[in-house]
Structure 1
Amino acid sequence: MKSFIGVGTGNAKNAVQEATRGLDSPEAIIFIAPFDIMGEVAALLKEQYPQTPSIGTIGTKLVNGQVSDKNVSVLGLFSDAKIRCGVIEHISECPVTSIREVEKKIAEVSAGREDTVCIEYCTGEEEKLVTTFTSCLEKKGIQLAGGTVFGVPEGEEPVVAYNGKLYKNACVYAIIKNTTGRVKVYKENIYKKQPSNIHHFATKVDTSRKALIELDGKPAAEVYSRELEIPKEKIVDNVLKNPMGRAVGEEVFISSMMSMEPNGALVNYKRINKNDCIYFLALGDYQEIERETREQIKGDMRQVSLVLSIDCIYRYLLYDGEGYFTTYAKDMASLGNHMGVVGGGEQYNNQHVNQTMVCAVFE
């Protein structure tokens, strides 16, 4: 599948001119821009390509081995892909009302089970969105890879872009069918269960606040502190080493701690439901795990034409602190044409996750 990735710097006008130099007649555009020029970039792209649908998000970018939080990155897709873009507004209220529109766009691309993916970027309300998309995508065998906006200045509201306009409290998406080969979504978890394999059950939660109040009938912070021998006041600071994981069958989906309340409740970025099976995870050999992921992708795909990825901000902080993030970005680019973004949360098929990398890989 043919793709174009361009990067531009400077003010919005200069950045768009530079990033789109050589981009002719795209079928769709996906872009990433800094928050302060996001609106201008969206409008300029719509002016330059008035017949081309576009979606955009903000955040730190990984583009073919380079990392930046200041430039503008533009991905152009062409006629060997069938694409429909859309926006779901008012996601904090009832995104399920958009199901019919999503299903219509799926039908328009004649989606297949191994050649179609949904890429989405949202401002929040991830669990509601995943439920909405799952009801549309699963029956067609369409995979999902998405990310939550991150990088919004304090006091500002997160935004995403669709067809030249900015939207708050929204999700933008692209249904992409690859007509030249397959597409597959991957989830990479660099955290593992502890050797002890101890598990707990969520016995009291407040899903509206994503608060885990009790595990096994005891304050969640108390259980975490005792098992890992971490003082309660350092639990949140320990999130890069020992996040929590929600078990679903044989898979574990990470839920990152955000804060601790006086009663010992742990407020998280991913919702934990009552009776969920919870593990306290340990950081694995992330460089080896990264290598294994790349080898799996190479083994699955005859030839990689494009990789679209979303990395959690906590992975960025961990890797950046270890001086590894630039190496990681270059390793991802070794797979093929690559554009990624650092987000505040990740969506993978029917799950919202934290501290994870998800990516869509096109043949």
Structure 2
Amino acid sequence: MKTFIGTGVGQPEAAVHQAVQGLTSPSAILFMASYEHFKETASRLKELFPDTPCIGTRLVNGQVNDSGLAVLGFFSDVKIRCGIITEASRCPVAGTTQLLKQIAEISPGTDDTVCVEYCTGSEEKLVTTFTSCLETKGIHLAGGTVFDVPDGKPPVVAYNGELYEDACVYALIKNTTGKIRVYKENIYEKTSAQSHFATKVDVSRKALIELDGRPAADVYSAELGIPRDKIVDNVLVNPMGRAVGNQVFISSMNGMDTDGTLTNYKRINKNDCIYFLSLGDYKATEQQTRQQIQQDASHISLVLSIDCIYRYLLYEKEGYFSTYAKDMASLGPHLGIVGGGEQYNNQHVNQTMVCVVFE
């Protein structure tokens, strides 16, 4: 599968000029740019490639600085359809008619199609919407949530030169020359076999009010020995995890009310089984993931990764992020972004890496 990755820095006109050098006749474009330059970058790419579908999101990655631009181009050896779901917080199901039509147009096969999406929020509603259309066709989902928006500004995504709030942009991609695989990496593990049940929640706030009939913060503090006022600051070491079957999906705390309610980036539902997690040997986990990817794919054409901001902050704190980015690039052509949340198949998750590998 042929792909193009270009980067640029500086003001939008110069950055776009640098990033698209050598890019000719793409069938679709994905771009990542800083918030400050986002609108002008989207407009400029539309001018240069008026007939090419194009989606974009906020950029933070290990290849270019925060004022830069990354452009990913696809070509005729993929079948690709781009689209947008508007009013994501109110009625994302309205986008299913177009999505189903596009799925039929690319005729997905077995393990050769993925839906890559970038959204401004409302992740649980969007994941449910996508799952209803993708799951029966065997199409994997991988996505990220916009984050780090300037104060007073709305999160936005780009579609064909225009910016949208309360929306999700996506690309349905079928690889005609090989497989597409999606991976989820969790560097945390259960602190113990002790599980807890969410007995009182407020899903509208993504708030966990009680665990096992007690204030959530009290249960967390008692099991981990962390003072109440340190719980939120401890999220990089001990997040919570929601158990679904044999898997645990991370939910990151972002605040605490005076009554011991913990607010989170991932919604926790009543009666969910919750574990407290601890940071594992992340370097060993990263190596295992790369080895699995190399074992699964005979030839890697592209690696597209989405990391949580909390993983980024942890790795920066540990002085590991640049090594991590280089190790990911060792797999093959790599483009990574950092988001405020990640989507993996039928789940919205936090503090996780989601990775799409194209043969």
TM-score in terms of structure 1 length: 0.98
Q: Does 1:280 find its partner at 2:254?
A: no
1:22 is aligned to 22
CA distance, structure 2, for counterparts of residue 158 and residue 113 of structure 1: 35
CA distance, structure 1, for counterparts of residue 355 and residue 48 of structure 2: 29
**1:41-52 matches, cutoff 5 A:** 41-52=41-52
Partner of 2:36: helix, strand, or coil? helix
Deviation of the 1:67 alpha carbon: 4.5
**1:148-159 matches, cutoff 5 A:** 148-159=145-156
One of 121, 133, 137 as aligned partner of 2:134: 137
- How big is each residue's C-alpha offset from its partner over 1:179-201, in whole Å with a ceiling of 9 and x where there is no partner? 0000011000000011x311000
Given residue 85 of structure 1, which amino acid in structure 2 is its aligned partner?
C
Deviation of the 1:210 alpha carbon: 0.3
1:263 is aligned to 259
Given residue 30 of structure 1, which amino acid in structure 2 is its aligned partner?
L
CA distance, structure 1, for counterparts of residue 64 and residue 196 of structure 2: 39
Kindly, what percent of the aligned residue pairs are identical? 68
Q: Does 1:118 find its partner at 2:115?
A: yes
CA distance, structure 2, for counterparts of residue 2 and residue 134 of structure 1: 28
- How big is each residue's C-alpha offset from its partner over 1:101-155, in whole Å with a ceiling of 9 and x where there is no partner? 1111111111123100000000000000000000000000000000000121111
**1:189-268 matches, cutoff 5 A:** 189-194=186-191, 196-268=192-264
Partner of 2:37: helix, strand, or coil? helix
Given residue 269 of structure 2, which amino acid in structure 1 is its aligned partner?
N
**1:67-106 matches, cutoff 5 A:** 67-106=64-103
- How big is each residue's C-alpha offset from its partner over 1:324-362, in whole Å with a ceiling of 9 and x where there is no partner? 000000000001111111000000000000000001100
Q: 2:78–2:174: 8 Å Cα contact kept in structure 1?
A: yes
Q: 1:67–1:326: 8 Å Cα contact kept in structure 2?
A: no
For these two proteins, the number of residue pairs brought into alignment is 359
Gaps of 5+ in 1: none
Gaps of 5+ in 2: none
Q: 1:60–1:151: 8 Å Cα contact kept in structure 2?
A: no
CA distance, structure 2, for counterparts of residue 112 and residue 156 of structure 1: 41
2:168 is aligned to 171
Given residue 40 of structure 1, which amino acid in structure 2 is its aligned partner?
E
CA distance, structure 2, for counterparts of residue 313 and residue 201 of structure 1: 27
- How big is each residue's C-alpha offset from its partner over 1:287-314, in whole Å with a ceiling of 9 and x where there is no partner? 0000000000001111111011110000
Stretches of 4+ moved more than 4 A in 1? none
Given residue 298 of structure 1, which amino acid in structure 2 is its aligned partner?
Q
CA distance, structure 2, for counterparts of residue 59 and residue 72 of structure 1: 7
Q: 1:16–1:72: 8 Å Cα contact kept in structure 2?
A: yes
CA distance, structure 1, for counterparts of residue 300 and residue 95 of structure 2: 32
Q: What is the CA RMSD across the aligned residues, in angstroms? A: 0.7
Given residue 32 of structure 2, which amino acid in structure 1 is its aligned partner?
I
CA distance, structure 2, for counterparts of residue 322 and residue 25 of structure 1: 42
Deviation of the 1:279 alpha carbon: 0.2
